Structure 1
Amino acid sequence: MTKYTYRADGVKWKKLFGDLETNYLDGFQYKSTYLIESWNGQGTFIPDPNEIPEMKLRIIPTSEGYYDALLNHYIYNYTDHLGNVRLSYTDTNKDGVIQPRQYDITQCGRILCNTIWLPGEIVESNTYYPFGLLHNYMATTQNAYQYKYNGKELQETGMYDYGARFYMPDIGRWGVIDPKGAEFPAWSPYNYSLNNPIRFVDPDGMAPNDIVFINNRGVEVHRIKSDTQFKTYIQASTNASSNPAQSTAGWKSVPMPNTIQHRPQSNEDVSGAAYQENDYQIAARTGYFNQAKNSGQLNLVTEGGNPIPTEATKDIPDLDPTLVKAVTVQESNAGTTGITDIMQANVPGDWSKMKSSYQLTKGEKTSETNSLYAGTRVLATKGFKGGVSVDKSGKVTYKFQGWAKAVEAYNGGGTAGYQKSVLQMQQESKKPKPSDY
C-alpha cells in the first residue's frame, strides 16, 4: 500500500510505500536509503537483515537531468519531444566515453593482474508504447530517479502521478474521471490526451488550464491551474529546467495575445472560445521570436534565400502576439475550420527558397506550432521588402520597413483590404477574460 501526504494547496510532499519514505521539496527528494544503494559493486557486500533505512538527500534537479547526491554522480537525461525520458547516463570515470552495462578493467602489478568489474554508465534506457507502457525496459544500475513517461514519476503501483490524477499506461486511461470533464461532453472523462499521445501531452491530468509552459520545440510541457490568470512561459536560456513541473528555474513569462473581436472582411464575430485555442502557442512562438531577435540569434533570409545580417534583424521592433493572432484569423479563421497551417506559411503555389530556411518542406502538412515558427519569420522577411539597397561599391544595406508594411507584403494572394483588416483586428482587440476561454 502507498500512502500520500499533500500540502494544503494540493502539492505532494510525502510518499510512504511500506517502510520506504520519500519526501519532496521543490524538486529535491529525500528517500529512505539502505547501505547497499551506495555500494560500488566491488568486493562482497553482506546486508544486515535488521538494517533500518536512513533518510538521505538523493535527487537534486538540474537543467540536464539530476544530481544523485548519494552516488555523487551527475546524471544526464535524453528526452524526446513529448518529455519522455528515453536515456539516462553518466560518466563515472570522466573519460568522455559512456560504457553500456557492466564492463571490466584490468589492473596489473609486478606479478599478478586483477580484473575488476565496474557498473555501466548507462543508468537507464526506456522505450515506450504510444500510451506510455514501458517496452524493453533496461536499468543497469540502481536508480532512485523514477521520472519517465511525459517526465512524470512512476509509482510503485505502475501508475504515473500527473498531479490531479494518476494515469494507467497499460490501458491508456486515467484512474478517476477528469475533474473538469463536464466541460468536454464529447470526450470520455477517462481519456488521455484526446486519445492522441503522439501529438499531445496532458501536463497535469486536468482539462486545459491557464498558466502554460512551452519549450523551445513548441511542446507544452506543464500547466498550472488558474481561474484568473492567462500566462505563457518559455525557456529563457539553454540552462532552463527541462522539467518545469519540478523546477521553473530559467523560464520567463511572455505576453499573451488579446482577444480578436471581429473579422472585418467576412463580418464575423471571432471572440468565442474556439478562436483562443492557439493563444498559448502564439504567445510562445512570438516570445521565442523576440528572444532570438534581441539576443542576436534570429536567422532571417531574403525571399531568395540570402542571409539578412544580424545587425539589421536586431533593429526590428518586438513582434506583437496580437498582430500574429490577427494574421491567423485573417488567413485561416484561427484554425477553427480544421486548418493546422494557421498562418498559411506553407500553401501550394507560394514556395520560395526562403521557406526551406524556416524549417518547412514543400507540400508537407504543417502543424500549428511549425506554422507559427515559420510564419513569424516569413512575416519578418516581408518587412524588409523595399528596404534593401545597394550602393555604388556594391555594399548591401537592409532596413526593416515596419510591421504594418510586413503585413501588407505578407498578403501573397493579393486580397483587397488585407492589411487594413489585420491592423483593424489588432487595434480593436481586448484583453482576455476567463469567459473567453
Structure 2
Amino acid sequence: MDRLPQELVIHILSRLPISTIMQSKSVNRAWRNLIRNQVFVNMHFKRMVENDPSFILQIRDQPIQSQLYFGDFSSHPNDRNVTIITKKLTMLPLLTNFHLVSSCNGLLCLRGTHRSLGLICIYNPFTRDSIELPKLVAKGPSHQVGVLGFGLDATTNKYKVVEVSYKRIYRASPSHVVRPVNRLAPQIIAPSSIDSEVHILTVGNGSPTRRNLGSFPFHFMCQKSQVLVNGKLHWISYPRGSKAYLAIVSFDLGNEQLKEVPRPDCISSDRQFHELVVLRGCLSAVCFDYDNEELEIWVMKEYDVKESWVKEFSIGTYLPKILQPDERESLDSSMFYMPKTCMRVLCQLRSGGILLEYKIKALFVYDPRCRTFQNFQLTFEGIPRCFTLAVHVASLNWIDTFIEAPCY
C-alpha cells in the first residue's frame, strides 16, 4: 500500500464502511494521519451521502439513557427486501443520562437529563471526538426549553446550537385568574402571553460562545427530528401563541434571522398539520386527510416558493407487525384504523420508498409505486419498548473539518 500514490489510496479507502476505516487506524501512524486528512474526510462523507441514510437510535426505556445504536440498511442484489443492521456504539463516560437531539454532518447533538440537566454535548460516535458546551442558562419556574436545533453555518464553517425557551408573562388581571374548585385553595394566575427567547451556542475554533438574540413572537411546536434545509432550521409555529393559525418558521444559521416560510395550501379544516421533514434535500410537510384516512406528504420543490408545494405522497392506514404482544393479541389483521398521529415520516430512500416510524416502537417502509409496506425487525440487547431515532450520515467529520457537501 505504501507504494501506491496517496490519491489512489484515498479513493480506495473512501469506499470502505466507517467501522472498517476506524479499525485501520491502528495499522500505523501513516494510516492514522491519512484518515484525518481533509481530502479523505470530504471524499468519504460525499460517498456516504450518496447512499441510503442510516440512523442513530437511542433506547428510551433503560434506567440510564446512555446507550446509542447505529442502524444501517443492507440489501442483496437478488433480493428486493431490505434489512436493517444495528450496531451498539461505544459511549464515553461523559455521556450518561442524555437525550438525542439531532444529527448534522455525522455529528450528534446531545442534551443532558436528570443530574446532567442543562449539559449540551457535540459527539461523533465513530471517531469518539466530543466537546462539552456551556450549560443552559439557569431559568426560573416561568421558563422552559421549547426546542433545540443544531446545524452548520456555511458562511463561517462553524456549528451552531439554537435553543428556544419560553417565558410565561403573568399579569394580575381578573381575566387571567383561575378559580380553584376548593374555595380554601389559593388562586392561580394563568399566563397571559408567552414570549420565545432565542439563545445561540457557536462551536468552532476556540472556546464555544453563547449569545442571547432576544425575544420573538413565535411559539414553536415540539419537533421530533432535525429539519435543516438551505442552511436554515425549520419549525412549526403558533405566531404570537395563537393555535388558530399554524406557520412554518425558519431560522437562518448565517444571518440569525427568523422568517415565516410559505406553507402549503393543504392546511384546512379537514387536514391537520403534523410535522416537517426533509425528503431528498427538500423541505416537506406532513398532514392528515381525515376524510380519506390518508397521511399526505407535501414537498416544496423550489425553496421559499409557495407555488412549488406539491402533494407527492398519500399513505393509507397500516399497522406494523412489530408490536408488543398485548397490542397484537386483539388484532386479526395488519390493516385497520390507525391513529395518524402515531406515524412519523423519517426520510426517503434511493429506491423511492418512504421510511416511517410507528409509535416510537417500529420501523417500516412504504413503496409508493406498489403501495405496499415492508416491516423491519430491529435487534438489540433485550427487547426495548420504545426508542428515539435521528436520521444520520456516518462520517469522520469533526467541528474543525470543512465539509464540502450539503448538511445531512
Which structure has the highest strand share of the two?
A: 2
Which band: TM-score by shorter chain? under 0.3
TM (norm. structure 1) is 0.26
Structure ID, larger Rg = 1
- Structure with the larger RCO, 1 or 2 (CA within 8 Å, 6+ apart): 2
